[in-house]
Amino acid sequence: MSRIGKLPIHVPAGVTVTIKDNVVTVKGPKGELVQAVNPDINVAYEDGVITLTRPTDDKNHRALHGLYRALIHNMVVGVSEGYKKELELVGVGYRVSNTGQLLDLSLGYTHNIYMQLPKEVKVETKSERNKNPLIILESADKQLIGQICAKIRSFRMPEPYKGKGIKFVGEEIRRKSGKSAGK
């Protein structure tokens, strides 16, 4: 058995799960998420517990078993608690602001970068004196919030020499010494 796939998913109070035609729908206080499941994987919901089973120990079935269990677990956690990511802008003159769902990034280029965020993601920006600007993203969809964070990070990846760029709060950037350190 797959170590991940065989674990049951406990559904907290206030979350409803419906399974119809290999489509799992999870509703909760933070929203609603839908995931289509491969027909080979059997999904059962009884007494507040979701279990997934696979027909054979074929390599493809083993992979799908763990995958769909993880996706459904992320959906349950997302609609009940939600996910939150914080990005920090490190660099002189780097600024960020938002107007509704429009993110305005000033990252040292000749122009500002504007990014329209989907309505499923709540965005907040903080700019305090003598502190790095922060972007705080909240959503019920773990995949969506991760994809948006990766896109924002790609505008100015953290670099190893000065440590400038967009990084997650608490992330350690491996620093390199410059060419003068070799002498």
Q: Which domains does the chain have, with CATH numbers?
A: 9-80 (3.90.930.12), 83-168 (3.90.930.12)
Write a three-state SS string for 94-107: CEEEEECCEEEEEC
pLDDT band at 112 (very low <50, low <70, confident <90, very high): very high
Asked if 78 and 68 count as a contact pair (C-beta separation under 8 A), the reply is no
The pLDDT score that the predictor gives to residue 140 is 95
pLDDT in tens, 9-26: 999 999 999 999 889 999
Model confidence pLDDT, tens digit, residues 40-58:
999 999 999 999 999 999 9
The Cα 63–Cα 68 span in angstroms is 9
Residue recorded with tokens 């979701």: 50
The pLDDT score that the predictor gives to residue 2 is 67
Each residue's pLDDT tens digit, 67-101 = 999 999 999 999 999 999 999 999 999 999 999 99
* Residue 68 CB neighbour total at 10 angstroms: 23
Say how far apart CA 14 and CA 46 lie, in whole Å: 15
